[in-house]
């Protein structure tokens, strides 16, 4: 279980209701992300949208060799929206973390007026780049 808590988000824009399932381009509006560092510089990216849509990709190296990844089962995404606090809870099978050494957690937040901001447990440079290996800093037991 992953839980993303967004606080002070009175102007948060949540994408409209859509069919749950795989979708591309989720990072263009509010979504939460999980990156898993695997062996040999490979990594996996998961995107979780409040609409229930998700995406998963494998990369052979930094932004190279991208291929769709098929998870063991589709992620379940629950959203609890309050006046200023929104919580996204994502459920993934534990087996999705097999072979992962480090994780990176991040979020793209859209506010009213189309303003996007990029949040991460750690940014690896001056500009947000969630694919930067320096962002994968949380040990996976």
Count how many domains the chain has: 1
> In this predicted model, what pLDDT tens digit does every residue of 16-32 receive, in sequence order?
766 789 999 999 999 99
Distance CA 121, CA 100 (A): 17
pTM > 0.85 = yes
CA nearest 96: which of 20, 55, 22, 36? Answer: 36
Contacts of 115 (CB under 8 A, 6+ apart): none
**Predicted confidence (pLDDT) per residue in 25-72, tens digit:** 999 999 999 999 999 999 999 999 998 999 999 999 999 999 999 999
What domain range is 57 assigned to? 2-139
């Amino acid at each position: 279980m992953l839980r993303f808590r967004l606080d002070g988000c009175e102007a948060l824009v949540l994408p409209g209701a859509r069919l749950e399932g795989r979708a591309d381009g989720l990072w263009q509006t509010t979504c939460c992300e999980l990156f898993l560092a695997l062996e040999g510089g490979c990594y996996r990216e998961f995107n979780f949208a409040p609409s229930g849509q998700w995406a998963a990709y494998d990369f052979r190296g930094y932004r190279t060799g991208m291929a769709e990844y098929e998870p063991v089962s589709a992620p379940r995404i629950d959203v609890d929206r309050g006046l200023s606090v929104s919580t996204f809870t994502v459920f993934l099978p534990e087996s999705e973390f097999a072979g992962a050494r480090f994780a990176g957690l991040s979020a793209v937040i859209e506010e009213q007026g189309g303003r996007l901001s990029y949040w991460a447990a750690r940014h690896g440079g001056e500009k947000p780049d969630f694919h930067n290996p320096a962002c994968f800093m949380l040990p996976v037991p």
